[in-house]
Chains A and B, each alone.
Chain A
Amino acid sequence: MSEPEITESPKLKRFLKGGLNMAPLTIAVAPWGFLVGAYALEVGLNVLEAQSLSMFVFAGTSQLVALGLIQSQAGLLAIIISTLLITSRHLLYSMALREKISPLPLRWRLGLGFLLTDELFVNTPLNDGKPLDRWFALGGGLSFYIGWNLATLAGIIAGRYIPNLTELGLDFAIVATFTAILVPMIRTPATAACVATSLSVAIICAALGWQMGLLLAIVSGMAVGFIFAQAQEYLQ
């Protein structure tokens, strides 16, 4: 194989750098993974099923919502529709990363596609004009996958002995981390408008119990940011 290398540094170094770069997020989602493991047992899944959820589905929000629906005795169809709605935001990620990932060989596309979580997307530079550093991305994605599954395992083990683990407020870890990433991103009025819109729409939809709220919030936030920037350009 003689692929053109993106940087001079060896693959292993870039792989490790990717993992290190992802570490704050991997640590921050650990309480969430833990929650998913403990909650799965509470809902009635066995140990193997609970772990498989993180190993194969590998999507925190979808996993938690599916478990919530199983608990409330919702049917298969309701769970499938909710998952379709919640996971549809990943369509945006794969569209945004299309230029960078689609030229890669099949096994890279499949691997990075499987690992394409909110967190990996957030940690992958979009408009830097450079080709994707695949080893860096793989290091981030794979370390995150391993961390998520270990956290789930810990939740499964702890959940067997300690009741009411799911009411500890473990989900604040993700709020803190995402806030720390989001705030410095707000550098233009257009981004501020995007964030304000997405935030309000998501809150309103969640209060109404709409499963599609997440996607609706993201799309309207993006639209407002884009239109705001276009209007600013036009007025100048």
Chain B
Amino acid sequence: MIALLLAILTVIVFASRYVFLEPRLPLKLGPRLQKLLGYSTPAVLAAIIGPLVFIRDETLITDISNPYLIGTAVAVALILITRNTLLTTVLSMLVFWLVH
């Protein structure tokens, strides 16, 4: 059962990553579509961060003392001030652990 599930999931995930990399697939991306796709990276990052910060067990957390929210606020402030990715990550994780 698990082995079958693993095989199916492997095929699904790989297919979704590969399908448009196949040159024989007839598809030409116009300049407008390319422009649209240019927004994919920030959209992906925001869509992953949002639920991790504000949702626990399918419930919205409105409490502002939520350690994820505090940690993220610290990360936003640090990256704006320092512009250093590694420093921001490490320090905001430290703050998160202290609050958590």
What residues on B are CB-neighbors of A182 within 8 Å? Answer: 42, 45-46, 49
B12 A56 Cβ-Cβ under 8 A: no
Shortest Cβ gap from B29 to chain A (Å)? 6
A169 B5 Cβ-Cβ under 8 A: no
Q: How far is the CA of A222 from the CA of B45 in the complex (A)?
A: 12
Task: Determine chain A's interface SS by DSSP, over half rule.
Answer: helix
Q: Number of residues in B with C-beta < 8 Å to the partner?
A: 67
Shortest Cβ gap from A181 to chain B (Å)? 6
Instruction: Give chain A's interface residue range (CB within 8 Å of chain B).
Output: 35 or more
What residues on A are CB-neighbors of B71 within 8 Å? Answer: 172, 175-176
Shortest Cβ gap from A42 to chain B (Å)? 14
Residue from the set A52, A103, A184, A199 with the largest chain B CB neighbour count within 10 Å:
A199
Q: Which residue numbers of A lie inside 8 Å of B, CB to CB?
A: 24, 28, 45, 49, 52-53, 56-59, 61-62, 66, 70, 76, 79-80, 83-84, 87-99, 101-103, 109-110, 112-114, 116, 118, 121-122, 126-127, 169, 171-186, 190-191, 194-203, 205-209, 213-214, 217-219, 221-223, 225-226, 229
A126 (CB) vs chain B CBs: closest residue: B38
Contacts known (A56-B10, A222-B39); A203 close to B93, Cβ less than 8 A: no
A-B CB pair tally, cutoff 8 Å: 255
Shortest Cβ gap from A156 to chain B (Å)? 15
A219 (CB) vs chain B CBs: closest residue: B43
A90 B13 Cβ-Cβ under 8 A: yes
Residue among A53, A79, A103, A198 making CB contact with B42, cutoff 8 Å: A198
Is residue B48 contacting chain A, with contact meaning CB distance below 8 A?
yes
A180 B75 Cβ-Cβ under 8 A: yes
A80-B9, A172-B71, A178-B49 known, 5 other contacts, Cβ within 8 Å: A56-B6, A66-B9, A76-B8, A87-B13, A191-B39
A221 B47 Cβ-Cβ under 8 A: yes
Contacts known (A91-B20, A109-B22, A182-B45); A198 close to B13, Cβ less than 8 A: no
